[in-house]
């Protein structure tokens, strides 16, 4: 595993060390510029919510783990999927954004869909910090 550093947002004063296997980075680098930008935006949100996340590849997707909890991202043919470890983690998002397609425990962002940062971070917090339990 290669140790890389994720650059913290401008409003944060330090750089957060993140363990990242080079396979996730290769996956991200292989995407078209538009998809790469969106995946990197989602990755930044994940690491803001869980800077201690360990990143690796599961089922050919970059996967972010905090203990037993996880989220993963994948670039599909027609959308980017954000997978969570439980269906309950996305229920509030589903209710607030019915036009954005969802699955059992995932959100499918089409290229034209917005990435509502506050709502996505709530999903990530629920998925990575509480594991669906509040």
Band (pLDDT 50/70/90 cuts) for residue 19 is very low
- Where exactly are the structural domains of the chain? 17-128
More confident of the two residues 13 and 50 = 50
Among residues 97, 101, 98, 59, the alpha carbon closest in space to that of 79 is found at 101
pLDDT score recorded for residue 30? 86
23 pLDDT higher than 90: no
Band (pLDDT 50/70/90 cuts) for residue 130 is low
42 pLDDT higher than 70: yes
Among residues 78, 36, 28, 85, the alpha carbon closest in space to that of 57 is found at 28
The pair of three-digit structure tokens given for residue 108, joined into one six-digit string: 């499918």
If one counts every other C-beta atom within 10 angstroms of the C-beta of residue 110, the result is 12
CATH T-level assignment (fold) for domain 17-128 = 3.90.1150
- Can you tell me which residue has the tokens 């439980």? 86
Query: pTM of this prediction?
Result: 0.77
């Amino acid at each position: 595993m290669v140790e890389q550093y994720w650059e913290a947002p401008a409003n944060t004063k330090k750089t957060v060390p993140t363990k990242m296997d080079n396979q996730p980075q290769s996956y991200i680098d292989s995407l078209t510029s538009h998809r790469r930008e969106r995946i990197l935006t989602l990755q930044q949100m994940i690491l803001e919510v869980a800077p201690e996340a360990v990143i690796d590849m599961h089922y050919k997707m970059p996967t972010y783990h905090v203990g037993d909890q996880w989220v993963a991202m994948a670039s599909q043919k027609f959308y980017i999927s954000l997978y969570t470890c439980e269906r309950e983690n996305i229920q509030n998002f589903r209710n607030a954004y019915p036009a954005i397609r969802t699955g059992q425990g995932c959100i499918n962002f089409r290229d034209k869909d917005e990435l509502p940062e506050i709502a996505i971070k709530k999903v990530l917090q629920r998925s990575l910090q509480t594991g669906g339990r509040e």
